[in-house]
Structure 1
């Protein structure tokens, strides 16, 4: 009898995995949003004072930004029209307004010509990077240009733990206790409150938290409604709950709208609504629809970590 029950249980579990796999396989292509393009080198964002742009399906970035990231030397003509990148035994020369480039003296044709904008000279990211010896990959889900390796660093490498005491004033309301509590059964502090917090900036993405990689978190609009869009490798059934902290207001939970989830290989796109009727149901906020994201001070990720994880609200 026991053996029969075990077999039935295994069949149920395998059936659920099959259904989940089939559902993922039948998903339509993920929604596309006009999010800021990010150029990454070895899984870290390339710093630039001018936003990367797309021209004729080519991603352009300021030449100094890409040169600094890749460690290339520069040689610029007095009129600033011709730029030469030198890295090891590789030499790439391009000219503003021209589709003709030279790689180690050999002529190459570009898909789009370099140009000047906002006092910066923009060069084709893929061409320059590949000719200087790097691999390049376009990620349409996250709108990332990945250059070099994709070994995403851990949260602990990129952030510092600070005492949570100055921020406890934000953790009020019915859900605050659950957010502050340590739920890791293996932790000697299981059931106690976190004593530290880690702050994540927009420029810190992508990050690995525990066994999960997060590509980016953005605000998007769908059919006139605001959502947090989380791109990650989370494979659980409930996605990643977020919560919002605001002075003088109770903590507001924002779980995923599971019907909106999208799949792209190992990645998932999750959508957590910014405005939620649960504020009225659980917190008694009658005018919950008047909520404004710009008034939020911190946004938290409810996921296992050695600390509470907060993002300063970069959606203002």
Structure 2
């Protein structure tokens, strides 16, 4: 009996080990293919021009910034008055815009590639225009003329005005009780996401939207998120700074799904992490026989873990639902 049990036990262990090694080999092949495919995938939609003032993304309700034929960013004149705090006067009879702030005065004429700054004529390579019943002015020229620092982020199509300090998640989100969100954290992964240490569990949660990016979450700074495709499959990419970044798909319909990104370093400390939406690991290791049917819209949140120094669970609302 002892020998039989030992033999059966050894066979069982060998069977499980063989299954694990087979699954690991399959997964390694998938990951290798993923790394090769990451170079060929394309962004689903073109990046939209974003304007950030002192590290916070600005919203444009009725008229969006755009890039003209000279690749200069133009913004609605209302932004200059409301965001920068300048006084703006529009003279429809003369088609002129007068902008004043902090003892600086800028006068532009629609359709002309020159302006007066404190009475001195200055030329630039674009012009103020009228579009869709809105007056648009060149952002860099006007901002710098008013004493602001302007930087162009070509990777994200972002214009940074003023300080480039990214806010912490604590500064842009409300601390909520975790209790009403526990339905999102079922299974082993779910329990691990709301736990830290041996027997301790988080009691609170912070949720942000993509409109609040960029944001600093402990040792990670997350700048942007977008969808990509290789022609057949949909994936996600995140532009960020910091250590390698694991992401979890969170939904009330299924247990959290972990994704390790394929990381590509770009420039100035930035990284691009690519994540597969559908992954065979969900079936191989977690028994999810429906992993091929996972859709982006079925995900409610994306979860990021830094594991060190956290005071709460951090979620990003899925902007692609």
Classify the TM-score, shorter chain: 0.7 to 0.9
| Inter-partner Cα distance in structure 1 for 2:260 and 2:236 | 10
| Inter-partner Cα distance in structure 2 for 1:160 and 1:210 | 16
**Counterpart residue number, 1:246:** 251
User: SS at the partner of 2:187?
Assistant: coil
TM-score, scaled relative to structure 1:
0.80
| Inter-partner Cα distance in structure 2 for 1:167 and 1:244 | 14
User: SS at the partner of 1:169?
Assistant: helix
The match for 2:314 among 303, 309, 314 is 309
| Inter-partner Cα distance in structure 1 for 2:226 and 2:88 | 35
**Counterpart residue number, 1:41:** 53
2:229 corresponds to 1:226? no
Contact 1:173/1:283 (CA < 8 Å) preserved in 2?
no
2:129 corresponds to 1:129? no
Distance 1:98 1:161, change over 3 A: same
Give 1:228 deviation, angstroms. 2.2
Give 1:166 deviation, angstroms. 0.9
**Counterpart residue number, 2:284:** 281
Contact 2:65/2:75 (CA < 8 Å) preserved in 1?
yes
Give 1:291 deviation, angstroms. 1.7
Contact 1:74/1:83 (CA < 8 Å) preserved in 2?
yes
**Counterpart residue number, 2:121:** 107
Q: How many residues align?
A: 276
TM-score, scaled relative to structure 2:
0.79
Gapped runs of 5+ residues in structure 1?
A: 1-27, 184-189
User: SS at the partner of 2:200?
Assistant: coil
Contact 1:141/1:264 (CA < 8 Å) preserved in 2?
no
| Inter-partner Cα distance in structure 2 for 1:161 and 1:231 | 25
Gapped runs of 5+ residues in structure 2?
A: 1-38
**Counterpart residue number, 1:25:** none
